Amino acid sequence: MTQPWMEPPERDYEPIQPQGTNWRGAVRKVTAPFIFLLGLAAKLGSLAKFAAIFVAFGGYTLIWGWKFALGVVVLIFVHELGHYLEATREGLHPDWPVFVPFLGAYVKHTRGNPWQTARVAIAGPACGGLAALACYVIGRADHSSLLVALGYFGFILNLINLLPFGILDGGSIWRSTRFLWFGGGRGKAVVSGCLYAATAIALAAGAIAAYIPQHRL
């Protein structure tokens, strides 16, 4: 007796098909975490830069205590604010000051001509010196050794920053002044040199006035 023809039952799965290595998929899996982290860093970049000020404050607190550390952060910020304001006035589109713990801070801006660069560089120590002077004067009036010490620190910090070397403000000023002198802008070079000398002398005088001899280790 013959049996009627029947269709085979349908499978509820797909059979495994032999295929080569999916290199594109493997690369995507490996690089996906890095792409995510880069995107996150780009979105939080400004926040991370701003957070560096708290890292700097914490580090300085471990060395000097929170009161002096707060004063140091404010002095550095005012110094960088001088760069920021002058760069803004010059139309150089500066970014907000970025703190680098234990190394100070910096302001990034578009590149200007030597005359602009000299003025932006001088503005930092000039504003920083005024902040140190304010600490010193108020400290003397209120008999606050903390503020006097901060004034001395500010004078010395800005004076060191005027050394004519490398990435320091003094290095930028002297490179720009030299370029102006030999590039046909001798009048501006003289003004730049005079501003540099006057700022350095004022900072040195402030440091001498604020210096308190120490008789203990």
pLDDT digits (tens, 9 = 90+) for 61-96: 887 788 888 899 899 999 999 999 999 998 888 888
Under the banding of pLDDT at 50, 70 and 90, the label for residue 38 is: very low
In the predicted model, is pLDDT for residue 217 greater than 50?
A: no
Residue 212 has what pLDDT? 76
Task: Answer yes or no: is 23 within a domain.
Answer: no
Task: Answer yes or no: is 35 within a domain.
Answer: no
Residue 194 has what pLDDT? 94
pTM beyond 0.75: the answer is no
Task: Answer yes or no: is 121 within a domain.
Answer: yes
Task: Answer yes or no: is 133 within a domain.
Answer: yes
Task: Answer yes or no: is 191 within a domain.
Answer: yes
Task: Answer yes or no: is 29 within a domain.
Answer: no
Rounded to whole angstroms, the Cα distance separating 57 from 46 reads 18
In the predicted model, is pLDDT for residue 147 greater than 90?
A: yes
Total structural domains within the chain: 1
Judged by average pLDDT, the poorest of 109-118, 122-131, 149-158, 188-197 is 109-118
Residue-range definition of the domain harbouring residue 141: 46-210
Task: Answer yes or no: is 180 within a domain.
Answer: yes
Instruction: Please state the rounded mean pLDDT for residues 124-151.
Output: 94
Residue 44 has what pLDDT? 44
Task: Answer yes or no: is 12 within a domain.
Answer: no
